[in-house]
Each structure stands twice: as C-alpha cells, then as structure tokens.
Amino acid sequence: MWTILATLCGMGALLAGSAPGVSQHPSQPEQTPELTMLVGTYTSGTSQGIYSFRFNQETGSATSLSETPIGNPSYLVPSADGRYVYAVSEWGNERASVTAFAFNKEKGTFRKLNTQPTNGADPCFLTTNGKVVVAANYSGGSVSVFPINREGTLASLSLLQPFEGRGFDPQRQEKPHLHCVTFSPDGHYLFADDLGMDRIYRFDVTVTNQTQTSIVWNNSATEMLEPGSGPRHLTFAPNGKQAYLINELSGTVVAFNYANGRLQPIQTIAADTVQAKGSADIHISPDGAFLYASNRLKADGIAIFKINPTDGKLTKVGYQLTGIHPRNFILTPNGKFLLVACRDSQLIQVFNRDSQTGLLTDTRQNIQIDKPVCIKWVK
C-alpha cells in the first residue's frame, strides 16, 4: 500500500541538532514504544481519505495499517479513549461536514457512523471535550457545535455561531475566517481564532449534566490582535499558565499569560522572517521546554523557540527547513520525534528532536502519502 521510503525531502537543514536524546520529563509516566497514528489528507490527487499507521516512537519507523474513504479530511480529532475519530470534509459548498467513525486502534480500522453538515463552508479544524465536537468553518466564518451521542455518533447542530465584518488586508481578510477552536485547560472556555478579523473569540462552556454541554459566545471577552496579523492556531502550555498563538499573515507568535478565561499578551516574536504570509501550525514539546511553529510559501520550515520556565517568554534558537508546505506537524508523546506533514512534497518527514537544544535532525524515514495535512495520535 503505502511504503516508508528512506529519501530526503529535498531540502537541507539550516541548523543541525546535537546528539539526539529523549525529552521525557522525570515526572511523566513511561511511554509505550508503539503508537497508532492517523493522517488526514486532501483528496484532489491520489489520496482516498484517512490513513492509519503504527509508529514506533523509539525508532521513528512507521508501518501502514488501514485507510477509509472520505473527501478532504483535512483535520481530525480522536476521542480521548481512542474509540472514535471525527473528521471534517473541507468543502466550500453543501458537502461541508463532519463525520464520525468508530475506530479500532489495535487494527487501525474505521467504521463510518454518521455525517452531519456544518452549515458553514470549508471546515478546517476540530476539537472535542468528549461531550461535543466543535468545528471552525474557514470560508463560512462560523463555529459549529455538535453534541456527541452515547454511541459516538454526532447529533445535529446545537449551535451555529456566525461572525461578521472585514479585516485589514483586503485580499486575505475580506470577511471572517475561523481557523481554530481550542478548549481551555480547565475546560470552562472555548477559544476561536478568526484570521479574517484579527480576533480571538471566547465562548463560555458549561457542562449542565453528564451528557449535555452549553457553549455560548461571550462577546465582551474578545481578544483583539494587531491589524493584519491573521490569527491561525492557539495552543496552551502544559502548565496551563501560558498560551501561544501563531499568526498566519504577520508570521509572529504571540505569547499570553492565561488565567480564568483571560489571555494577557506578554510578548510578540517573529517566526517568519521572510514575510511569506504562510505561517501555519504551532506546538509545544511535552516537557514544556520548547515551542515549534511552521511556515509555508517561502523558506518552508519550522521555527524553534526555547520557553523561559519562569515567565513563559520565548527565545528563538533555530530554524529547520522541511519539505514543501508544512501545514501541520506533531510531536511524539515522549518528545523524541517531530513529524511534519509536507503537503506538496507528498510525504511526512520524521525528525529526531534533541531534548537539550530543541533542534531537529532529519531521520530520512519519510512516510510517503499524497497531500498529508493532519497528523494525530490515538491514545
């Protein structure tokens, strides 16, 4: 089916890491070597949908397991217990939807349960708290919320929250463009990044009983970004005290102090230094020591930052070139590897991560797959 090729992505590294090591915090439990990996794709080429692999987080090797057909599953989210997988179908018309699958994480096989329309064009991001699945609709400029039934299926929409207006950039911010939805560490809030309006919206989350969750937009708690920033993805630090935002258009990372639903900016630092306007994804190493941010369109690669353990501020320590169009990437739970979905190189690159310096080294254990754009672990 899909083969693991020992080929280079075609681009060298600006900075090579020192001797590789395992960045496992002493307080973390021992990690299992074998992980189940999901890959979402765009299906305009040879890809058929979602693919599953077995990935060894000690050696960096991958073995193909299974696949399931679905159109443009550009973002996925598994349930906490790994029994279900939810996937967007990123279409700009009535086919825009979210599909629920039952998943066998040992065999890597999928069984379709049901599909619900998002009523918003181009859903591109999903999150779940186990009771609802929330989608960010890019072209629709809206957020869709679906309750999860006991059998893992999706109920019809409980909330469709549209937004209005236009932003600073007449080409890229002609209307709202929702790009990410993220629950706060305590689960009491949901944050939604609007690339088109330079805003982060906050929703208040109330779990009314064991099966129901109320999500309401709090208009008074909106965080405003610099005009033309284009906020894309938000991630929280493992300690829950900081959050970090990657801006697609300005190519900057904004660091926030976080407490009680409030994001307080403390720093802005460049991830993209060539003004490519294509910054994409952002993740923190499991030990909380380093932050990584991807850039596309020019000098495609990963910016590497060290996180100050005292105040959460960032210092840039390196830059790793990757294959073409690194839309999404992920770190292994033990922190040893960083995998990059290089959409236009038709492969996933596997990098070894130095736990002391944060720098990356290409293992040349590429996973060949057409238009990969999302990687997830199933626990």
CA-only gyration radius of the chain, Å? 19
Per-residue pLDDT tens digits for 163-187: 999 999 999 999 999 999 999 999 9
Instruction: Classify residue 142 by burial, with Cβ atoms within 10 Å: 0-12, 13-18, 19+.
Output: buried
CB atoms within 10 A of CB 201: 22
Query: CA distances (Å), 105 to each of 38, 78, 83, 99, 299, in order?
Result: 10, 10, 7, 18, 36
> Which own/partner contact pairs does 125-128 have at CB distance under 8 Å and 24+ positions apart?
125/75, 125/88, 125/178, 125/179, 125/180, 125/181, 125/233, 126/75, 126/76, 126/77, 126/86, 126/87, 126/88, 126/98, 126/181, 127/77, 127/181, 127/182, 127/183, 127/190, 128/77, 128/79, 128/86
- Plot region of 185 (φ>0 → left; ψ -120 to 50 → alpha; else → beta): alpha
Residues contacting residue 260 through CB under 8 Å, at least 6 positions apart = none
For the chain, which residues score pLDDT lower than 70?
1-30, 210-211
**Residue with tokens 């074998």, as numbered in its chain:** 34
Task: Give kind and range of the element (H or E) at residue 74.
Answer: none
**Taking the chain, what is the end-to-end CA distance rounded to the nearest angstrom?**
24
* CA distance linking residue 305 with residue 169, whole number of Å: 28
pLDDT at 207: 86
CA 163/CA 142 separation, integer angstroms: 6
Return the pLDDT at 338: 99
Report the distance separating Cα 243 and Cα 235, nearest Å.
Answer: 6
Tell how far CA 250 is from the center of its chain: 19
Nearest CA to 96 among 77, 68, 69, 115? 115
Q: Give the count of beta carbons closer than 10 Å to the beta carbon of residue 183.
A: 19
pTM beyond 0.75: the answer is yes
Burial of 334 per CB tally in 10 Å (0-12, 13-18, 19+): buried
